[in-house]
Amino acid sequence: MSEHTPSYLAGHLAPVPDEIEAVGLHVTGVLPTELTGRYFRNGPNPLPGEDSGHWFTGHGMLHGVRLEKGRAAWYRNRWVRTKRLEGAPPIGPDGTRDLAAGAANTSVIEHGGRIFALTETSRPYEMSPELDTLGPCDFGGRLTTGMTAHPKEDPLTGELHLFDYGMRPPFLTYHRLTAAGELATSFPVQVPGPTMMHDLAITPNHIVWLDLPVVFQPELVGRGMPYQWSDHYTARIGLMGKSDPTVQWFDIEPCYVFHIGNAHEDDRGRVTLDAIRYSREAWFSTWSRIGGAPRAEQAARLAVATLHRWTLDPATGTVTEHALDDGNVEFPTVDDRLVGLPNRYLYAVDTHAIVKYDGDHGQIARHELGEDWHAGEAVFVPADDSTGEDEGWLLSIVTHRDPAVASRLLVHDATDLAAEPVATVHLPRRVPAGFHGSWIPDTELHR
């Protein structure tokens, strides 16, 4: 990596130049036979010779590993064939946003038996189980905005809650899909300006909004990501009923949140929200690094993002907040069966480690990868016969800092994270460190 190469095009983030596939992957250890499905991971991957100007804006590429009854059947990677990949500009000649010209580079989910590659403010792209692009989706013409990359599926109802944010009013729009994948509800939510809202949370009774001081800056258009911290925009968290656009807002200390761990309600109606908090200093440190700032500038601006908790009391209108840990972590995950419900365990990653938080006992377990390996988001898959919350597997693709070294899919026993993985799938190539993945069991696709 030279001093002039953007950080998002080098080392563990360097894009791969092509699409490949391989069958009969080598496995060390023993893959659990119940893991029969697909692990898909999304992330930015510019075309060869292309510089998109920011890590967040490269074309979406899915990496997939097929596991089947104790063997790793195949690996393949495919660009999402978006209109943008084919050369369509995100802004049309009439000045309107082309909702199908997004990067589709952030996450990949299954809902209603369909697979979607997502990025915020754009249409989802439907993908086949073999990673072929089927095309943009507007749910029968009912989705008239873009869609977040972080929708939340309610484990009690099967409904999918999502939103879109934009540069012009309405700055925020809420949507709800039925369990079958039909868009049933849409309405605007009032916020004062074009905030960059990356995630949301749900509870049985609430949608939890994050209205935070990173906002659209018109003068930055055409220079990577046109969003920046504003000292004049108030930081607040909102609670909204699932069928009522009225929001109760709670002012909080200025910060930014990319990713939420979970939220839940207690028997007094209070809502607890756990998320990764960036202070103003941590925001600028991170934004300069992922935006390609020179290494000297990055080294001069070191700050960390930490696991944080807010407790919101609708009855009194008060909020309390405190740090749960002082370690630098990101990409928090929980058991999907507990989204919006009380959870004991939360998983996250440090740069070179996978981390497990035990909220009941205040304990932290770590699996250290070593300085040469970068940890990818850890996705929890419950064991078929699980009785405890952490009885299952953690799946994570890890990437070496040397671009010549192939990546690995690690399968950990979530009850004993510090131990060696129960299985390691040796992938046929390096997978650039990316964003979010999903485990999609065959049973979900056969519904």
Tell me the C-alpha distance between 161 and 158, whole Å: 10
Closest CA to 441 of 113, 74, 43: 113
| 301 CB burial (10 A radius; 0-12, 13-18, 19+) | middle
Distance between alpha carbon 73 and the CA centroid of its chain, in Å? 26
The DSSP code for 56 is G
The DSSP code for 72 is E
Q: Which residues contact 445 (CB under 8 A, 6 or more apart)?
A: 37, 110, 113, 115, 129
Tell me the C-alpha distance between 10 and 431, whole Å: 13
Task: Give the position of tokens 């932290």.
Answer: 364
Distance between alpha carbon 130 and the CA centroid of its chain, in Å? 21
Backbone angle region of 70, left / alpha / beta, with phi > 0 → left and psi within -120 to 50 → alpha: left
Tell me the C-alpha distance between 259 and 310, whole Å: 14
Tell me the C-alpha distance between 365 and 356, whole Å: 5
Tell me the C-alpha distance between 13 and 251, whole Å: 36
**Cβ(296)–Cβ(10) under 8 Å?**
no
**Cβ(164)–Cβ(175) under 8 Å?**
yes
Closest CA to 187 of 247, 236, 105: 247
Within 51-149, residue ranges assigned H as helices are none
Cα–Cα distances in angstroms (integers) from residue 281 to residues 91, 287, 308, in the given order: 32, 10, 16
Give φ, ψ of 331 to 5 degrees: 50, 60
Q: Within a 10 A sphere around the Cβ of 255, how many other Cβ atoms?
A: 22
Binding site residues for Fe cation, as ranges?
150, 198, 259, 436
Cα–Cα distances in angstroms (integers) from residue 137 to residues 91, 115, 153, 199, in the given order: 19, 11, 18, 20
Binding site residues, as ranges?
150, 198, 259, 436
**Cβ(334)–Cβ(355) under 8 Å?**
no
